[in-house]
Amino acid sequence: MTEDEFKAIVRINIKRYRVYRNWTQAELAEKMDISVNFLSDIENGKRWISPANMVKFASVLNIEPYELFKSAEAQPASIASLFNKYNDDVVLAVSNSLKRVYSYYQAFVEAEIKKNTADMKDISVKQERKKQRPVIKKK
């Protein structure tokens, strides 16, 4: 493997993990505390990064540093498989959040039903009273 091939693997992986996270260059650059132009130059092979920045990229992208050096052939069929260890935690967190939202929604709906039922009873009572009033005709 040549030096250029190695650099290409690293820059392709940086972009691949950025895109996987649905981050723009601006978002990743902000997280890395670097300019968008510098990140663009890295991804396009115009500039190279220091070992310290490689470690920082790995940290920000939530991967192990060695994963930046894996060629496409060494990558799993899907990058998603690298994140399977996080899936259970994510699913659990989302599930718990949805349960809380549903609980709040259910309580809100029940309160609204009680309020509307009470309002309907008030209207019904008022209508009944109106029917029972004697009609006084004016002469």
HEC assignment per residue over 49-106: CCHHHHHHHHHHCCCCHHHHHCCCCCCCCCHHHHHHHHHHHHHHHHHHHHHHHHHHHH
Please tell me the distance from the alpha carbon of residue 47 to that of residue 1, in angstroms, as a whole number: 19
Q: Does residue 128 register a pLDDT over 90?
A: no
Looking at residue 102, its pLDDT comes to 81
Task: Verify that 66 and 87 share a domain, yes or no.
Answer: no
Q: What is the pLDDT of residues 14-71, one digit of tens each?
A: 998 998 888 899 999 999 999 999 999 999 889 999 888 899 999 999 988 888 888 7
Banded pLDDT at 126 (limits 50, 70, 90): confident
Task: Verify that 19 and 63 share a domain, yes or no.
Answer: yes
Residue 139 within any structural domain of the chain: no
Looking at residue 79, its pLDDT comes to 52
Task: Verify that 66 and 111 share a domain, yes or no.
Answer: no
Residue ending a domain, choose from 45, 75, 105: 75
45 contacts: CB under 8 Å, gap ≥ 6: 7, 8, 11
Number of domains in the chain: 2
Looking at residue 4, its pLDDT comes to 85
Q: Does residue 100 register a pLDDT over 90?
A: no
Kindly report the CA angle at 127 between 124 and 130, in degrees rounded to 5? Answer: 150
Task: Verify that 114 and 95 share a domain, yes or no.
Answer: yes
Question: Which residue range(s) make up the domain with 94?
Answer: 83-134
Please tell me the distance from the alpha carbon of residue 79 to that of residue 15, in angstroms, as a whole number: 12
Residue ending a domain, choose from 59, 75, 91: 75
**Neighbour tally for 79: CB within 10 Å:** 16
Please tell me the distance from the alpha carbon of residue 57 to that of residue 53, in angstroms, as a whole number: 6
For 19, 37, 60, 113, 138, the CA distances from 27, given in Å and listed in that order, are: 11, 12, 11, 45, 78
Banded pLDDT at 81 (limits 50, 70, 90): low
Looking at residue 135, its pLDDT comes to 63
Task: Verify that 35 and 99 share a domain, yes or no.
Answer: no
Kindly report the CA angle at 15 between 73 and 72, in degrees rounded to 5? Answer: 0
Residue 104 within any structural domain of the chain: yes
Looking at residue 70, its pLDDT comes to 84
Task: Verify that 9 and 68 share a domain, yes or no.
Answer: yes
Residue ending a domain, choose from 31, 51, 75: 75
Residue 90 within any structural domain of the chain: yes
Kindly report the CA angle at 44 between 43 and 50, in degrees rounded to 5? Answer: 55
pTM for the complete prediction? Answer: 0.52
Residue 27 within any structural domain of the chain: yes
* Mean predicted lDDT score pLDDT of the chain: 80
